Amino acid sequence: MQINLIEQYQQVRNQSIQLSAPLSSADMCIQSMADASPTRWHLAHTSWFFETVILKNHLTEYTPVNSDYNYLFNSYYNGIGNQFPRAQRGTQTRPSIEEIMDYRKTIDQQMLKLLDGEFSDQVNFLTQLGLHHEQQHQELMLTDIKHAFSLNPTYPQYQPSTEQTQQQAERLSWLSVDESVYQIGHMGSTFCYDNELPMHNAYVYPCKIASRLITNQEYQAFVHDKGYHTATLWLSDGWDWCRNISKHHPLYWLRKDDQWFEFTLNGLQPLQPHQPVTHINYYEAEAFARWAGKRLPTEYEWEVAARQYGAQTGNFVNSGKLHPQISADTQFLGDCWEWTSSSYSAYPGYKPFAGAVGEYNGKFMCNQYVLRGGSCATPEDHIRFSYRNFFYPHQRWQFTGIRLAEDD
Ligand SMILES: [Fe+2]
């Protein structure tokens, strides 16, 4: 058990370094909008998390690396202390990248010292939490640098293109979910976040869920049908959002010489018609569903269908393909996070994690929507059927897409 945890620790921590390897020191300091953070901040904050919730409390005679870091690298934990303003993270170049890398090394040495001896169940749990937390930030490292690079008119590549065979999208079919009471939430004793618990019963009415995500080509039909200019398709808040954007298409699409392109982590590429449409916000997903005469699934419908029909897919990050691809298999996990129509709220009997990490999930249960499934930028072992991601309805810089549903 201890060896496994040490190996897991080293693998996850090393993966963050690997993901930052293609970036220059200047790249690592950039913050392109308030929602995104610089790579250097992600690398430091994830280390601060281990230092603050584990080392300071569980390693005897531990001395913090730098007393300023608690303010600079605390994200949102009010119980721990004040935070440097999120929107200004990109104004900082010190501590330098080298100092942050040294900080990571010191934290790793101290964590491995702790994990090499006898440690409590609480240290075991908090270490796993720290690793899953770091995996969340690994996805953000990719989506945040993608956003920053997208604003550069030279369209830099995070990594060079790889040869990709263009597959036809499978025919969209409809998967039936029977009316019944189902168990929802995390099952078993493996790690999960507090918001996936407790497992509970939920009544689901008969419905059908699409066998795959909506493709670029299908979304193009919505764009060309003046979807972004038809008020009746949009929620009121969505229409307000729509009227305030200048480009009426998905975030990274670009029209050039009468042809559609898409900005990807491999730079600007011709839009691939059969790949899932991505970087869609809740308003766009909802409007598209209405235009198509369908709706978005609830998170309960999604989870029931995924457990019944879903098959886990590989992690495209590790295979070097950083853009979602269609698989021939029916899949629910691994291309794009999928918007559901469910507001992000507590399951019946929900209890936040104890202590300072109680602020991890619960306090965000207001005005956000649940996304399910995981994306091509999510580490593979961070994906599970019960996972509940959540974002505000206007946000679209994550790899987010559309799976339709309908009443049966
Ligand atoms: Fe965090």
At 177 the pLDDT is 95
pLDDT at site 320: 31
CA of 134 to the centre of ligand 1 (A): 7
Q: Report the pLDDT value the prediction gives residue 163, as an integer from 0 to 100.
A: 65
Please list the pLDDT of the chain residue by residue as tens digits (408 residues): 456 999 999 999 999 999 999 999 999 999 999 999 999 999 999 999 999 999 999 999 999 999 999 999 999 999 999 999 999 999 999 999 999 999 999 999 999 999 999 999 999 999 999 999 999 999 999 999 999 999 999 999 998 876 666 778 888 999 999 999 999 999 999 999 999 999 999 999 999 999 889 999 999 999 999 999 999 999 999 999 999 999 999 999 999 999 999 999 989 999 989 889 999 999 999 999 999 999 999 999 999 998 888 753 333 222 333 343 333 334 567 789 999 999 999 999 999 999 999 999 999 999 999 999 988 889 888 888 999 999 999 999 999 999 999 999
Distance (angstroms) between ligand 1 centre and the Cα of 53 equals 12
Distance from the alpha carbon of residue 247 to the mean position of ligand 1, in angstroms: 31
Query: How far apart are the CA of 18 and the centre of ligand 1, in A?
Result: 19
Ligand 1 centroid to residue 283 C-alpha, Å: 26
Q: 328 C-alpha vs ligand 1 centroid, how far in Å? A: 35
| pLDDT score at 231 | 98
**Environment of ion ligand 1 (residues, CB < 5 A):** 75
Ligand 1 centroid vs 71 CA: distance in angstroms?
Answer: 14
74 CA distance to ligand 1 middle (Å): 8
Distance 89 CA to ligand 1 centre (A): 14
Residues 321-339 pLDDT 10s: 334 333 333 456 778 999 9
Rounded to the nearest angstrom, the distance between the alpha carbon of 97 and the centre of ligand 1 is 19
Give residue 251 CA to ligand 1 midpoint distance, Å.
24
pLDDT of residue 38: 98
What is the pLDDT, as a whole number, of residue 199?
97
Task: Using the mean position of ligand 1's atoms as its centre, give its distance from the Cα of residue 75 in Å.
Answer: 6
| CA–centroid distance, residue 132 to ligand 1 (Å) | 10
- In this predicted structure, what is the pLDDT of residue 335? 85
Distance of CA 346 from the midpoint of ligand 1 (Å): 20
pLDDT of 2 reads 54
CA of 349 to the centre of ligand 1 (A): 25
User: Can you give the three-state secondary structure of the chain, one letter per residue?
Assistant: CHHHHHHHHHHHHHHHHHHHCCCCCCHHHCCCCCCCCCHHHHHHHHHHHHHHHHHHHHCCCCCCCCCCHHHHCCCCCCCCCCCCCHHHHHHCCCCCHHHHHHHHHHHHHHHHHHHCCCCCHHHHHHHHHHHHHHHHHHHHHHHHHHHHHHCCCCCCCCCCCCCCCCCCCCCCCEEEECCEEEEECCCCCCCCCHHHCCCEEEEECCEEEECCCCEHHHHHHHHHCCHHHCHHHCCHHHHHHHHCCCCCCCCCEEEECCEEEEEECCEEEECCCCCECCCCCHHHHHHHHHHCCCECCCHHHHHHHHHHHCCCCCCCCCCCCCCCCCCCCCCCCCCCEEEEEEECCCCCCCCCCCHHHHHCCHHHCCCCEEEECCCCCCCHHHCCCCCCEEECCCCCCCCEECCCEEEC
**pLDDT tens digits, one per residue of 208-255:** 999 889 999 999 999 999 999 999 999 999 999 999 999 999 999 999
